[in-house]
Amino acid sequence: MVYKQKLTPEQALQKVKHYCAYQERCHYEVKEKLFTFGLYKTEVEKLLSQLIEEDYLNEERFAIGFAGGRFRLKQWGKVKIEFELKQKKVSSYIIKKAIKAIDEDDYNKTLYKLTLTKWTALKQEQHISRLAKTTSFLIQRGFEPQLIGKVIASIRNEYNTN
């Protein structure tokens, strides 16, 4: 690993406090940032615990904010959000808590809106192609296949299309 700079633990602490104050971070991101400052593992662990004590770093707060933001702004489904949190090495307990924080009504309304938009955009397609493309689009967004099937069925019944 190539280090950008070699900082003392005190200098690194000040920099990483600013890094954490700017936006919520997960432990993994902060740990990687500290290693780029050329610190040793023991120093990194000590600084991490200090950041947690001073409430600069809170993984639960990060996960709930991340899940809510990705859902509201990017309209991601729970599957994709869960995958991204796993990539950031967030514990499964905290991931479940973050996913539960997403409002079910908003989630279902967003899924319905995305499905309807895609379904109507593909009205020139044959039925099988339309179904496949809509389903594929929603799966890429991270929505659950069983929910997608129900929503597509309700849209088909609502608009009496095949």
Q: What's the pLDDT score for residue 159? A: 74
Positive/negative CA dihedral, 98, 100, 106, 112: positive
**Region class of 82: left (phi > 0), else alpha (psi between -120 and 50), else beta:** alpha
Q: What's the pLDDT score for residue 157? A: 85
Q: What architecture is domain 9-57?
A: Orthogonal Bundle (1.10)
Q: Cα(111)–Cα(150) distance, rounded to whole angstroms?
A: 11
Q: What's the pLDDT score for residue 4? A: 59
Q: Cα(57)–Cα(105) distance, rounded to whole angstroms?
A: 30
**Mean pLDDT, 10 residues at a time, over the chain (162 residues)?**
70 92 94 91 94 94 96 97 96 96 96 96 92 96 96 86 52
Q: What's the pLDDT score for residue 50? A: 94
Q: Cα(142)–Cα(77) distance, rounded to whole angstroms?
A: 4
Put simply, whether the predicted model's pTM sits higher than 0.85 gets the answer yes
Domain regions of the chain by residue span: 9-57, 60-100, 104-159
Q: Cα(142)–Cα(122) distance, rounded to whole angstroms?
A: 20
Amino acid, res. 40: Y
Q: What's the pLDDT score for residue 8? A: 87
For 17, the token pair is 């406090």
